[in-house]
Structure 1
């Protein structure tokens, strides 16, 4: 009984840390106008405040997961929380645009250290149906944190005023981070140390450089700049580096050394499909909140608090369905994600139809559609994490979870950059018609969600074909995945 209590207490601690890092993906959205005016920041700085965090987050995830697997997941978690907390305080104390941009990059790196340890702890501490419930709670945390971020940000901006409110958005992490460090020392289990393994420094450098080059064209953009004007040629260099990375990993493996990425992962189809689904879903999912916030605040002159409150319906729906879906993934498997993605797509079509025609209290009238999107989104995130990792060796859960999260963060950064560029370009072309700009950008998010739905349907068909021929994956023994 005591052991069970310790496991769930450790999970609660991990989820709070995960929520803190994910809140900072969306909490700054409603504070962007006051950051711009308070620091006299230009478009490039605002882009880096949003996307620079995702870039550093994405670069750190896989090396951090590998580090946790090879050394001590507990120690990496604590270091990550400390880095994130100090960087948050530095963001709050920023005196110039360059200061806050650099602090946000460091903050993202701290978040990247934390997140793969969370999925690694879940893989190691839970088995069977319990693991599904634990990942369900993790999925709930992801959905609620992302959706409630704007509301919390709005409350803090209103509480602190236009001059100090945006600083509170970052300072709020300081007491939470300090408490997490203290409790982590007491509650998180010490992982057993195996033989000391190489951290594959060459692989780390090649992988990090390729991720940076993938993300640079999308985060180094300015308001009004067309997508065609960005340095897309860097993607060719990134592709060459990824090829070099893969060849190096095979060479390193032949020498009997531990590689940064488990070379067996591409052969695990459940993992590959989950990776693709998560990438495209997060590319669309994250973008929705940013363009909705811009539409409400800049186009309709909502306050930060009003804009954030509009998204509560999504958070309620996401929290409810993610928790329930975590317990049902063993019975329904990929059907949950398919159903959820259909619900999200229907909600986005509804938003596209309603927004240009609605009058009066827009936020209240959008609530039913945002609730539907939240209910659908909660059915996607946690089941996908569970199904993606169910055949991954728990001893390599950190690196596997890190790569999964890297794909999601990369998808988020690319989706945000592309959708924001479309939004601002449309605002300029229509001379300030924010409703039309919202609809145009929303159609791109819908397209990304539909790609995720297609991947889910293909995986569903694959699982149906093999269902009668194979036993359930060994790490979800007793669950009947479809």
Structure 2
């Protein structure tokens, strides 16, 4: 639900404008408000789960997300809708870090890789299927009211999942820090990280709404606040447990994996942004047709993520590097396909390259997450996963701003060239994937070992027993 709501709303924006007369600024905040609130909550929510129990935080986040979805669907004006989208973002930020924390807690070795493989399949499929599901709902319920069902679709899912989560998720005692004392949330760290993240993201998510270059001056205070956060965490960590254990970044797998994730999500998320605009605005595809055109990427990503999770513990970082190579080749192939066919049949022309890129994406996201978190202690799993996912959100915002800028340089104005804008956007996304590939290759050729051993010990013979003992089943 939380990942679908990143992409599903994109195709609903024209319907929202028709339904409640939302302004362009209001529509922008329907998208960016969710992303900002989501990114703001990830790290403190992960730490809360580490300290007070992931099951409790998961149930709170799921309940709040379901309620916020109902309120969003019932919105009567743009202020109401933007407010409920902010609430959805907070709820999603509470819920998501608990998932990677549960996987760290319940699985070891190869089984952990398979679990992250299923999570990666969920990430890839839900992100890519959002436009298709949104198109289907708007087609069924009409342009005027169809957007409401983009939010209402979460209600039956949430109502089914709440009792299942209460019954099946393991009860988890509050975590204890490395010093043996019960950890703290570190409110000063939360404030500094939250302020720095918001100020950093604002010029990117508001790029089209704030014309001119003055908005980029916000990057200066953002860097200063985040530097203050690092300084505070070092100081606070001498006496008590900090919000983010900066020593994690000295672990090669975590530092390089987080950087790779930031760079890859900058290119990955932007692909769907420019593809949806190109097909709907340039090729006059319906929301449903545009969603169907993204299906090959979704299918390839979902299938490959499950496979990648099974083999990552044997292959290690070279698997991620190979996946990134496939993404780059697939994006270049899609660019060539548009060069050869820029008519309404373009959706068929790009299907095979997008399928190839999707397979590469599936071999990148979940294996990278497995490798990145492989050496993280279980009592830090939530906050470490929150930092990783915050890097993904920052990367997504930067990528959409950068790729969107080059896209609209060709596709904007009085005489837009949609095909040229799309090709330029794809090449920019491919360039970001190349940067992520450079990080992966750095780890492959200079790292001592590319096969994860885990902070908790590998022990494939003990994986299933450990998971069952901790889940109480």
1:456 corresponds to 2:440: yes
CA distance in 2, matches of 1:365, 1:147: 18
Counterpart of 1:428? 412
1:342 corresponds to 2:325: yes
User: Contact conserved, 2:193 with 2:226, CA < 8 A, in 1?
Assistant: yes
Counterpart of 2:245? 262
CA deviation vs aligned residue, 1:369-415 (integer Å, no higher than 9, x gap): 11001100000000000000000101110000000000001111221
Which of 274, 277, 282 is matched with 1:299 structurally? 282
Q: Which runs of 4+ in 1 moved over 6 A?
A: none
CA distance in 2, matches of 1:445, 1:209: 28
Q: Structure 2 stretches of 5 or more lacking a match? A: 461-473
* Residues 230 and 306 of structure 1: CA distance in aligned 2, closer, same or farther (over 3 Å): farther
1:351 corresponds to 2:351: no
Q: Spell out the pairing of 1:323-338 with structure 2 (5 A cutoff).
A: 323-338=306-321
CA deviation vs aligned residue, 1:305-352 (integer Å, no higher than 9, x gap): 111011111111111111011010011111111111111101111122
Counterpart of 2:45? 64
Counterpart of 2:73? 92
Counterpart of 2:230? 246
CA distance in 1, matches of 2:26, 2:257: 33
Counterpart of 1:217? 203
* Residues 275 and 185 of structure 1: CA distance in aligned 2, closer, same or farther (over 3 Å): same
Shift of residue 85, structure 1, vs aligned partner: 1.3
TM-score by length of 2: 0.92
Counterpart of 2:193? 207
CA distance in 2, matches of 1:460, 1:36: 48
User: Contact conserved, 1:422 with 1:440, CA < 8 A, in 2?
Assistant: yes
TM-score by length of 1: 0.91
User: Contact conserved, 1:44 with 1:221, CA < 8 A, in 2?
Assistant: no
User: Contact conserved, 1:210 with 1:241, CA < 8 A, in 2?
Assistant: yes
Shift of residue 356, structure 1, vs aligned partner: 3.6
1:399 corresponds to 2:383: yes
User: Contact conserved, 1:119 with 1:398, CA < 8 A, in 2?
Assistant: yes
CA distance in 2, matches of 1:95, 1:426: 36
CA deviation vs aligned residue, 1:122-179 (integer Å, no higher than 9, x gap): 0000011100100011111100111111111111110111011111011101121122
CA distance in 1, matches of 2:327, 2:456: 29
3-state SS in 2 of match to 1:181: helix
Shift of residue 95, structure 1, vs aligned partner: 1.7
Shift of residue 82, structure 1, vs aligned partner: 1.5
Shift of residue 285, structure 1, vs aligned partner: 0.4
Counterpart of 2:349? 365
Shift of residue 269, structure 1, vs aligned partner: 1.1
Counterpart of 2:470? none
User: Contact conserved, 1:151 with 1:305, CA < 8 A, in 2?
Assistant: yes
CA distance in 2, matches of 1:110, 1:84: 5
CA distance in 2, matches of 1:474, 1:212: 32
Between Structure 1 and Structure 2, how many residues are aligned? 454
Which of 142, 153, 162 is matched with 2:123 structurally? 142
User: Contact conserved, 1:119 with 1:397, CA < 8 A, in 2?
Assistant: yes
User: Contact conserved, 1:217 with 1:230, CA < 8 A, in 2?
Assistant: no
Counterpart of 1:42? 23
User: Contact conserved, 2:262 with 2:395, CA < 8 A, in 1?
Assistant: yes
1:80 corresponds to 2:61: yes
Counterpart of 1:10? none
User: Contact conserved, 1:282 with 1:411, CA < 8 A, in 2?
Assistant: yes
